[in-house]
Amino acid sequence: MFGKRQLSVAAIGCGNRARVYLNLISEQPENFTIVAAADPVSQRVEAIRGISNNPNFLSFADADELLGCSRLADVLIIATQDNYHFDPCTRALRKGYDIVLEKPISNNIHEVVELEELAHELGRRVIVCHVLRYTSFYRKLRELIQSGILGEVINFNASEGIGPWHFAHSYVRGHWSVVENATPTIAAKCSHDMDLLHWLLDKKCKRVSSFGHLTFFKKENYKLNDQYPMFDATRYLDQDQKIWLAQVYDNPDGEKEEILGWLKSSDWGRNVFQCDNTAPDHQTVNLEFEGGTTGTFTMSAFDEGRNYEFNGTKARLRAGDFYKEHLGADIIITDHASNRTTRLNVVDGNPHPKFGDYHNGGDVGFIKELHLLLTQEETPPTSITSSLQSHLMAFGSEESRKTGEVISIDQYYRSLKSRENALD
Ligand SMILES: NC(=O)c1ccc[n+]([C@@H]2O[C@H](COP(=O)([O-])OP(=O)(O)OC[C@H]3O[C@@H](n4cnc5c(N)ncnc54)[C@H](O)[C@@H]3O)[C@@H](O)[C@H]2O)c1
């Protein structure tokens, strides 16, 4: 049918995410060749040139310049910041590129709906980087839930703890701190979680309601500053925080004085009680799925890791970071009838010396399957159409948080879409 052919790849936005994907792609020369990249920061494009190992690699100063040329590659990775996905993605689709698009699809739900419609209209592939679906852990979880071992799933509780430092980095000091200008937290961070929930259950979400507030990282709490040295910006110099510095500063291994100088004028050098942040530091979503399955999802700055409780008619399942850390098992299933407990540990199918820890092996797993996702006839599991579901759930939750209304996902979608056929 399609046969195994090498695909050419270009990228717009050469920051953290593109670098990880392109490094992994460069490990599959039989499947991919990296031909071009665009970024206003020339050293980031040059880093991709190095990764590409391609003497004919083309560099561009920005998306406009790259998209001003006729189509340069089979596939375009779009890994710019959230507010600059829609414009390059629309233009690239019209030029005939298939797209690997970083999540969220856009920071604006109208654009999400419009892009999905456009991809559908043009018959192009847009694969959204919901990389957690490509981890061994989530695949096992889904396999167990879909196997019927739990019986019918009646309800669930799920949570994502972002962790205080990570939250401060991204949602107090960083890109997603002012919700009025950025993707809402529940969509920026938790579109993964929304995506996982409807995929694990294999059901459509019908309604959501949500509460959430910014409670801690506020100016009136500056009086508490001395009690929280853990948030001091000089901690970006600590070895175990370099990973965070590297996300926003191009020379994380530079001299201490140079980094301190940069922090002084950078958003990431600000005191966490003196920012202009509005992103909630905790938010709970109530969800109702087809068939009456109900559940809660809680995002908190003050928890760490993802955890799940699925309660079925035959058994209950507990899984996630807490269970792994404190009970030594990834997944614990207790059968109601026998009261017998089974503990499971999932072997990571995507070990990698450098990127194995990134998204629990999700980045590696995603790129391992990318060639197939782009060439097989079937619609990729993380297509833009599937991802539209999670975006409606996430943006619907934010709408509910702001208005206090219960949001019907079908009605919300109908109010946003121009295409008539229903979501499936
Ligand atoms: N899949 C995931 O789990 C995951 C994880 C983290 C981030 N993300 C998302 O990935 C995207 C990129 O995040 P990142 O951390 O790599 O950001 P980043 O800031 O490191 O990279 C973005 C790059 O885009 C470049 N850019 C800006 N304007 C441009 C233009 N006009 N043309 C070309 N390039 C331009 C910037 O210079 C920067 O290098 C974001 O949408 C983010 O939300 C997804």
Indicate the top mutation candidate among 102, 108, 191, 357 to test ligand 1's pocket, ranked by most ligand atoms within 8 A of CB. Answer: 102
The minimum-distance atom of ligand 1 relative to the CA of 60 is 33
Nearest residue (CA) to ligand 1, atom 18: 15
Span from the CA of 14 to the centroid of ligand 1 (angstroms): 7
Span from the CA of 130 to the centroid of ligand 1 (angstroms): 15
Close Cβ partners of 100 (under 8 Å, ≥ 6 residues apart): 21, 75, 76, 77, 78, 127, 129, 370
How many angstroms separate the CA atoms of 397 and 405, rounded?
9
The minimum-distance atom of ligand 1 relative to the CA of 41 is 37
The minimum-distance atom of ligand 1 relative to the CA of 362 is 3
Domain with CATH 3.40.50.720 in the chain: 7-128
Tokens 């202009």 correspond to 276
Nearest residue (CA) to ligand 1, atom 26: 13
Q: Which of 121, 88, 65, 74 is nearest to 417 (CA)?
A: 121
Span from the CA of 384 to the centroid of ligand 1 (angstroms): 18
Q: What is the pLDDT of residue 144?
A: 98
Nearest residue (CA) to ligand 1, atom 5: 17
Span from the CA of 232 to the centroid of ligand 1 (angstroms): 25
Span from the CA of 247 to the centroid of ligand 1 (angstroms): 10
What's the angle, vertex CA 191, arms to CA 44 and CA 18, rounded to 5? 15
Q: What is the pLDDT of residue 54?
A: 98
Span from the CA of 332 to the centroid of ligand 1 (angstroms): 37
Span from the CA of 13 to the centroid of ligand 1 (angstroms): 6
The minimum-distance atom of ligand 1 relative to the CA of 14 is 39
Give me the sign of the Cα torsion angle 212, 214, 216, 221: negative
Residue 10 CA neighbour count, 13 Å, CB half: 29
Span from the CA of 52 to the centroid of ligand 1 (angstroms): 19
Is-contact 243 169, C-beta < 8 A?
A: no
Span from the CA of 103 to the centroid of ligand 1 (angstroms): 10
Nearest residue (CA) to ligand 1, atom 43: 82
Q: List residues near ligand 1 (CB under 6 A).
A: 12-17, 38-41, 44, 62-63, 79-82, 84, 102-103, 129, 131, 247, 359
The minimum-distance atom of ligand 1 relative to the CA of 248 is 20
The minimum-distance atom of ligand 1 relative to the CA of 129 is 1
Close Cβ partners of 414 (under 8 Å, ≥ 6 residues apart): none
Span from the CA of 211 to the centroid of ligand 1 (angstroms): 29
Is-contact 256 237, C-beta < 8 A?
A: yes
Span from the CA of 51 to the centroid of ligand 1 (angstroms): 18
Nearest residue (CA) to ligand 1, atom 6: 17
Q: Euclidean distance between the first and final Cα of the chain, in Å?
A: 26
Indicate the top mutation candidate among 12, 14, 17 to test ligand 1's pocket, ranked by most ligand atoms within 8 A of CB. Answer: 17
CATH topology of domain 7-128: Rossmann fold (3.40.50)
Q: What is the pLDDT of residue 419?
A: 52
The minimum-distance atom of ligand 1 relative to the CA of 188 is 43
Report the predicted TM-score, pTM, of the whole model to 2 decimal places.
Answer: 0.95
**Predicted confidence pLDDT, tens digits, the chain (424 residues):** 445 799 999 999 999 999 999 999 999 999 999 999 999 999 999 999 999 999 999 999 999 999 999 999 999 999 999 999 999 999 999 999 999 999 999 999 999 999 999 999 999 999 999 999 999 999 999 999 999 999 999 999 999 999 999 999 999 999 999 999 999 999 999 989 999 999 999 999 999 999 999 999 999 999 999 999 999 999 999 988 899 999 999 999 999 999 999 999 999 999 999 999 999 999 999 999 999 999 999 999 999 999 999 999 999 999 999 999 999 999 999 999 999 999 999 999 989 999 999 999 999 999 999 999 999 999 999 999 999 999 999 999 999 999 999 999 999 999 998 654 544 4
Q: What is the pLDDT of residue 418?
A: 60
Is-contact 355 23, C-beta < 8 A?
A: yes
